[in-house]
Amino acid sequence: MKVDCIVIGAGAAGLMCAATAGYRGRSVAVLDHANKVGKKILMSGGGRCNFTNFSVDATNYLSRNPHFCKSALSRYRPQDFIELVDRHGINYHEKTKGQLFCDHKSSDILQMLLTECDYAGVEISTHCTVVKIEQEQGDGGFRLRTSLGDYRCQSLVVATGGLSIPTMGATGFGYEVAGQFGIQCLPRWASLVPFTITDKWQPVISALAGVSLDVVAGVGDQQFSDPLLFTHRGLSGPAMLQISNYWQPGAPLTIDFLPGHNLAALITEWRSSGQKGELKTLLSAILPKRFVQAWLEQSVGSRQVQQYSDAELDILQSQFHRWTITPSGTEGYRTAEVTMGGVNTDEVSSKTFEAKKVPGLYFVGEVLDVTGWLGGYNFQWAWASGFCAGQYV
């Protein structure tokens, strides 16, 4: 089969790229090895797909070259995707911090992309294993040997995503293709991922599994104000996932469990107003009871507020406002939302997404070394990079 363009990977970026190229009149085939297309779209946002964010700019992304993403993000903005969603009559709402979720289900977004591909005349094949890619001599282009037969194309788009959730079809195929053509890949690791804790805090944390509270979490200069969730194995919740993008093994996290308050000042106030209760009772009005109990047990214990010394107030202050923990690691690709690192963006044009060394070969989406924050930023990158490449493939 001969087409103008083949897209490997029927995920967010691949489907967007295919539809855009199809609308330009290009003949496009999308090949995916999985049994179903768009699996990560379906499982995203707890089944409601956090498909974009009202406010997106380059500061929401990590990449060795922080400028690379700017061009595509400015050429395809959240508003462009929202207009598409509106045209398809999909209802959505803002949950928090500009994050837009479907009212109904993630499948609305996948169905929208498939409808767009259909209108644009794109052919999509699942259960397709790409066995070999060869560059054609003469006119250029590529020849693909696949489990569904041979394909030839002028433009080849690699949209195979990252390594997270292998059970959903994630593979390192995109990095292998880059390697085959001498294109550099940067080291990769799981990100937007929960932390594991194995030190003395493990039993305390495990006993709190299921407790969630608003915190300010920091690593180095980076801070996020979001909920934290204790788990049987460590720390999760949006605050931890966000911080994981900036964490390096061995680095300590600092957590403020009472943001917007000053515990020492509160205790002083309670004392001077003659409050008689135990500290755990007073604190349980502003923090989850189980957490208060455990945190006091690990520091100075709970007594009448009047009975704490100044030295103990200092201990409480650091225990609740500047708790430091060094994770033993992360839960890895099994549960990570994204892969940090990937195809070095220096190897790719930020305008066309074509590999500088290999005319006709394009990389879009998560396979590139561009990783967004939690909150719809990774899909916006998939849409933007897919759309921009779709103008040229």
Touching ligand FDA, residues 261-320 (CB under 6 A): none
Exactly one of 8, 90, 193, 205 binds ligand FDA (CB under 6 A); that residue is 8
44 neighbors 147 (Cβ within 8 angstroms):
no
Residue 161 interacts with ligand FDA (CB under 6 A): yes or no: yes
Q: Print burial letters for 134-170: b (CB count within 10 Å at least 16), e (below 16).
A: eeeeeeebbebebebeebebbbbbbbbbbbbbeeebb
- Beta carbon of residue 309, minimum distance to ligand FDA (angstroms, whole number): 48
Total site size for ligand FDA, rule CB under 6 A: 38
Shortest separation between residue 331's beta carbon and ligand FDA, angstroms: 12
By CB under 6 A, residue 388 contacts ligand FDA: no
Position of tokens 């001498």? 182
237 binds ligand FDA (CB under 6 A): no
d(CA 252, CA 330): 13
330 binds ligand FDA (CB under 6 A): no
44 binds ligand FDA per the rule CB under 6 A: yes
**Residue of 5, 19, 28, 45 that binds ligand FDA (CB under 6 A):** 45
By CB under 6 A, name the one of 228, 300, 382, 393 that touches ligand FDA.
382
Q: Near ligand FDA by CB under 6 A, which window of 90-98, 206-214, 312-320, 362-370? A: 362-370
Q: Which is nearer to ligand FDA, 43 or 209 (CB)?
A: 43
Residues at the site binding ligand FDA, with contacts judged by CB under 6 A: 8-14, 31-34, 37, 39-40, 43-45, 49-50, 130, 159-161, 164-165, 169, 171, 173, 337-338, 365-367, 376-379, 382
